Amino acid sequence: MLVYAVGSEHRAGLEIWRQHRDIGCFDAVLAAVARDIGASTIVSADRAFATVPGVEHTSPDVTAVAALLATPLGSQ
């Protein structure tokens, strides 16, 4: 799915960034878009996403992605 940020998401992203300085401003806008579209999880090596309320974060390692997809390891 291709998504883009609109003005309200830019403002929401700046508010996230203001409240959670451990996340970068670009990632804060990504988090705002994820919340806005109802994304269930952001997969990222950047652990700062875990500090944002309303955004579920998981690491992109094999175990975490397999759990996210509910696919048993080795079944592919």
Q: Is 1 a member of any domain?
A: no
Q: Please give the pLDDT value at position 72.
A: 53
Full domain range(s) for residue 50 = 7-69
Q: Averaged over 41-60, what is the pLDDT?
A: 89
Residue 42 included in any domain: yes
pTM (predicted TM-score): 0.75
Residue 74 has pLDDT above 70, yes or no: no
2 domain residue, yes or no: no
* Inside any domain, residue 74: no
Number of independent structural domains in the chain: 1
Give domain status of residue 33, yes or no.
yes
| For the chain, counts of helices (H) and of strands (E) | 3, 2
Whether 34 maps to a domain, the answer reads: yes
Asked whether residue 45 carries a pLDDT value surpassing 60, the answer given is yes
3-14 per-position pLDDT tens digit: 778 889 999 999
**Residue 25 near residue 51, CB atoms below 8 Å:** no
Mean pLDDT, rounded, of the chain: 85
Q: Go through 4-20 and write b for each residue having 16 or more CB atoms within 10 A of its CB, e for each that does not.
A: ebeeebeebbeebbeeb
